[in-house]
Structure 1
Amino acid sequence: MLPHPTPPLGHPGRRARTVRRTALTALSLAAACSLLVTPATAAPVGPEPLDAHCAGQARLHVPGAARQQADCLDELTTAGTVASGHTDPADYAGLTPKDLPTPSGVPGVQIDGYFPDTSTTNTNHGWHHDSQFVIRLPDHWNGGLVVAGTPGNREQYANDRAIADWVLARGYAYAATDKGNTGTAFYRDGRRPGDAIAEWNTRLTQLTRAARAVVTQRYQRPPARTLATGMSNGGYLVRWQLEHHPELYDGGVDWEGTLWRTDGPNLFTFLPSALRHYPAYAAGGPGAAEAEAALHRAGFPAGSEFLWPYHHQVYWDLTQRIYREELDPGYDGDTEAGTPYCASGTPACDADYAYPERPAAVHRAVDRIALTGRIGKPLITLQGTLDVLLPISQDSDVYARMVHQAGRGSLLRYYRIEDGTHTDSLADVFPGRVRPMVPCHRSAFTALERWLAGTGRPPADRTVARPAGADPATLLTSCPLD
């Protein structure tokens, strides 16, 4: 989740044509061309085939970008971009199972850059500039565009293994944003509570519009289909975009999106319970059974107990403190993001945070980023039943009801994935107890494709059972939804 430095784009010895563009260099190139080329001296040039390798690279311009660099690559997936310096493995570390296959054979153009912004948390490429993006344009295009925001507080390459590799291999153009702020101190961005999260939404909207324009430049026609997808905070963005900007998208796939509701549930209605009761549960003794029951009541499902130690160590405490600091910085006074692992009863301890009792201003801050369920385009939501960062009963179960209550149920399909959890790398740690979600996301994505094409409606909402006796290799590549 922390920002990580990335080497400069490109790699010594790697064959790549690079075009860097700023407003000044574009003007300089135009002036030079006016001096050197005249109708009398210009040689006739035929139109470049649209499927030629990196066709039109020099003319690509990302609207609104303060900086962009376009590179012609032999490989746009991580099969090539790791070696060429066009991704950062630290961005996606821990998000996918270690044996997830990597597709290859996708040449094309990659554009890296950033939009104007004042925050500097993203250190990728040594730029120290937020609102960084990546746009990938395969030579062999299927007519579609996939856009994504990142999970957690990660940088723009976070989806490269879980999402980008696969959609690029299917022929989609792909674009992703760092959401405008990164790292565990993301809450420092903005002037008032909620600003940093609100920026995530505007940055994905901004990138979608820009990427659609770039796709049109590259392929000489706009995308026939624009799809939004993402996991965790990226899934939240899918929901928000389809609620607020359905005109930009044809549909979306929401993978365990974070739920924000003004009246709850939200992170602040279940994470404090985990922090308050887990220590007694872990200690054993007379209070352990009562603490376990309290965790179950908070939404952490029975049968997920084996995942609690990891989440207490890695996620629950940090997540509660940094998001509470973003939306309710006054709770702990001058302290920044609380006191890690404070014991219940400690002054201003996040284990004792009571969201319903907080001032109206806090609820207004949450309301700025809250979801409504009023989606305007088809959405497929999926979440694992063993998710113990965002318990399914407090998240996607609720969001599905919200969509139906808003009268938009015909636009939604919802799949509860038995034994899936929030972080797919845990399938490597608990291979007999946790199934990876990534093949289920891909099944949902192809179901959305058929839905939009009119060639088949997705299966009805359901809990997708874990196949009896399936081995880890099968679970990594297969997830039938029906």
Structure 2
Amino acid sequence: MAPLPAAAPPTRRRTVLGAVALAAAAALLPSPADAGPAAGAPGAPDGPCAGLSRLRVPGAAHQETACLAELTTAGTVASGHTDPADWAGLTPKDLTVPSGVPGIQIDGYFPDTSTTNTNHGWHHDAQFVVRLPDRWNGGLVVAGTPGNREQYANDRAIADWVLARGYAYAATDKGNTGLAFHRDGARPGDAVAEWNTRLTQLTRAARAVVAQRYHRPPARTLATGMSNGGYLVRWQLENHPELYDGGVDWEGTLWRAEGPNLFTFLPSALRHYPTYAAGGPAADQARTELHRAGFPAGSEFLWPFHHQVYWDLTQRVYREEFDPAFDGPTEAGTPYCAPGSVPGCDADYDYRARPADVRAAVDRVALTGRIGKPLITIHGTLDVLLPVTRDSDVYARMVREAGRGGLLRYYRVEDGTHTDSLADAFPDRLRPLLPCHRSAFTALETWLATGHRPPASRTVARPADADPATLLRECPLGG
């Protein structure tokens, strides 16, 4: 939901709301009874990429199919079957990239009227990617992208790892991309509502393609994603649990008509941070107001970056999606305006004072907590884009109040923040969430395969004296 860190290529900037113990992972691979046959084995497809020309994505307006020697970014960067700009800034620089995953990749798009996605020169939204490894474990992982990025945004953080474990993988651009995503649709909330429709559409289509390729449907379909992608996991398990066996939500965005949501805490950041940063007699009170808004004590070292990169733009473009009338004909607000300086300044925004139709627009995409399949949520305690007390703490409570607490495990990760690449800048203060996502994923696999529930919901403490290499490699959930 905001610009990438400066390292992102300036010609392909993307927005992002935000942006495992590897040894244990091997022990938690799906059991042979769950896994599909290897290529060339009895009952397997007849050789690598056999039947490639017969694969059809149901409902696609266009598709291009390729037989690749490598489906992970170890090969797709060179072959042109991913776009590094889509995933720039989302993962730690020292993340290991797996390799040795040959198979089929299908790129394409579903019918759509918007044209913000420029990948492949198509200038067409509702783009997708489907990857089908030769050695298949019987499962399918589907994902929507964080922020307003395009369909390859999860390739480094999620796709590489699940493909190396034998899963088929599919991802969507959610139907609109970039800073002007809010122009899509006819009424407030349409662009975000389309995200949900597009992931449902892709899940159904990907399940059908898996059955075409491997001659049987997936034994297990899992949804996962970070930030806006995590929101999609929550929404899908609430509204279409029949399509999935479970999901892993990585710091998903919370949309609630009554709040909290982005509009109930980001305006406080815009109002009070400049006073805090200026110092002087008013700074202490400004810091107190930021804490009261949900930005945790101890996160102050992250505030300058988030004020410069995330808070302002996130507030403006998402407010334009749900409440375009607030600033009249001005589109997406006035950058970095001081409170009271211009009409419609986003630092003055008061969500609760806005007309009822604004809350109705948010309600169209709101979450309820009524999940229908197992869900594991992870969220960093030093997230200062989606503060944990205003997001996942609230969602976990919603799930319990909906009577679905038995389907949820929730892990607050000490010293995690919204964008993992920031752990490179502050290695002594932050830890990446990526290994915790992998631990959660393998815990979900075990939960589904054996019925053994993961450790109880808890705060996952940062190990004393753990170095950055260990934190990138391990994240035991406890118990």
How high is the TM-score relative to the length of structure 2? Answer: 0.91
Contact 2:91 2:157 in 1 (8 A): yes
Asked if residue 281 in structure 1 is aligned to residue 276 in structure 2, the reply is yes
* Secondary structure of the structure 2 residue equivalent to 1:278: helix
Distance 1:48 1:87 in 2: 31
* Secondary structure of the structure 2 residue equivalent to 1:197: helix
Q: Which residue is equivalent to 1:23?
A: none
Distance 2:405 2:55 in 1: 40
Q: Which residue is equivalent to 2:192?
A: 197
Contact 2:69 2:75 in 1 (8 A): yes
Q: Which amino acid aligns with 1:434?
A: L
Asked which structure has the greater CA Rg, the reply is 1
* 1:367 corresponds to which of 355, 360, 363: 363
Distance 2:163 2:43 in 1: 22
Q: Which amino acid aligns with 1:368?
A: R
Q: Which amino acid aligns with 2:92?
A: P
Q: Which amino acid aligns with 1:243?
A: E
* 2:399 corresponds to which of 378, 400, 403: 403
Q: How many residues align?
A: 442
Residue 456 (structure 1) shift: 2.5
* 2:99 corresponds to which of 81, 91, 104: 104
* Secondary structure of the structure 1 residue equivalent to 2:364: helix
Contact 2:44 2:214 in 1 (8 A): no
Deviations 1:81-117 (A, max 9, x none): 0000000000000000000000000000000000000
Residue 120 (structure 1) shift: 0.3
* 2:472 corresponds to which of 468, 471, 476: 476
Q: Which residue is equivalent to 2:377?
A: 381
Deviations 1:2-31 (A, max 9, x none): 89679xxxxxxxxxxxxxxxxxxxxxxxxx
Distance 1:147 1:48 in 2: 25
Q: Which residue is equivalent to 2:113?
A: 118
Q: CA RMSD in A?
A: 1.4
Asked if residue 272 in structure 1 is aligned to residue 267 in structure 2, the reply is yes
* 2:347 corresponds to which of 325, 347, 351: 351
Map 1:307-326 → 2, pairs under 5 A? 307-326=302-321
* Secondary structure of the structure 1 residue equivalent to 2:410: strand
* Secondary structure of the structure 1 residue equivalent to 2:376: strand
Residue 158 (structure 1) shift: 0.2
Distance 1:104 1:226 in 2: 23
* Secondary structure of the structure 1 residue equivalent to 2:218: coil
How high is the TM-score relative to the length of structure 1? Answer: 0.90
Contact 1:251 1:379 in 2 (8 A): yes
Q: Which residue is equivalent to 1:160?
A: 155
The range that moved more, 453-462 or 365-374, is 453-462
* Secondary structure of the structure 2 residue equivalent to 1:269: helix
Distance 1:481 1:414 in 2: 10
Asked if residue 262 in structure 1 is aligned to residue 251 in structure 2, the reply is no
Contact 1:113 1:132 in 2 (8 A): yes
Q: Which residue is equivalent to 1:438?
A: 434
Q: Which amino acid aligns with 1:132?
A: Q
* 2:223 corresponds to which of 223, 228, 253: 228
* Secondary structure of the structure 2 residue equivalent to 1:83: helix
Distance 2:113 2:66 in 1: 26
* Secondary structure of the structure 2 residue equivalent to 1:369: coil
Q: Which has the higher contact order (CA 8 A, sep 6+)?
A: 2
Q: Which amino acid aligns with 1:479?
A: C
* 1:218 corresponds to which of 210, 213, 219: 213
Q: Which amino acid aligns with 1:296?
A: H
Q: Which residue is equivalent to 2:248?
A: 253
* Secondary structure of the structure 2 residue equivalent to 1:448: helix
Distance 1:132 1:458 in 2: 35
Distance 2:174 2:46 in 1: 31
Deviations 1:375-399 (A, max 9, x none): 0000000000000000000000000
**For structure 1, which runs of at least 5 residues remain unmatched after alignment?**
7-46
Distance 2:206 2:11 in 1: 25
Contact 1:5 1:123 in 2 (8 A): no
Relative to 1, partners in 2 of residues 1:475 and 1:62: Cα closer, same or farther, differing over 3 Å? same
Contact 1:134 1:177 in 2 (8 A): yes
* Secondary structure of the structure 2 residue equivalent to 1:444: helix
Q: Which residue is equivalent to 1:419?
A: 415
* Secondary structure of the structure 1 residue equivalent to 2:264: helix
Q: Which residue is equivalent to 1:188?
A: 183
Asked if residue 456 in structure 1 is aligned to residue 446 in structure 2, the reply is no
Relative to 1, partners in 2 of residues 1:474 and 1:345: Cα closer, same or farther, differing over 3 Å? same
Contact 1:4 1:91 in 2 (8 A): no
Deviations 1:235-267 (A, max 9, x none): 000000000000000000000000000100000
Q: Which amino acid aligns with 2:475?
A: C
Residue 55 (structure 1) shift: 2.0
Deviations 1:162-205 (A, max 9, x none): 00000000000000000000001100000000000000000000
**For structure 2, which runs of at least 5 residues remain unmatched after alignment?**
5-9, 14-41
Regions of 4+ moved over 4 Å = 1-6
Q: Which residue is equivalent to 1:25?
A: none
Q: Which amino acid aligns with 2:387?
A: P
Distance 1:233 1:210 in 2: 21
Relative to 1, partners in 2 of residues 1:315 and 1:51: Cα closer, same or farther, differing over 3 Å? farther
Q: Which residue is equivalent to 1:38?
A: none
Contact 2:172 2:202 in 1 (8 A): yes
Asked if residue 62 in structure 1 is aligned to residue 57 in structure 2, the reply is yes
Residue 56 (structure 1) shift: 1.8
Residue 401 (structure 1) shift: 0.1
Relative to 1, partners in 2 of residues 1:291 and 1:372: Cα closer, same or farther, differing over 3 Å? same
Q: Which amino acid aligns with 1:421?
A: T
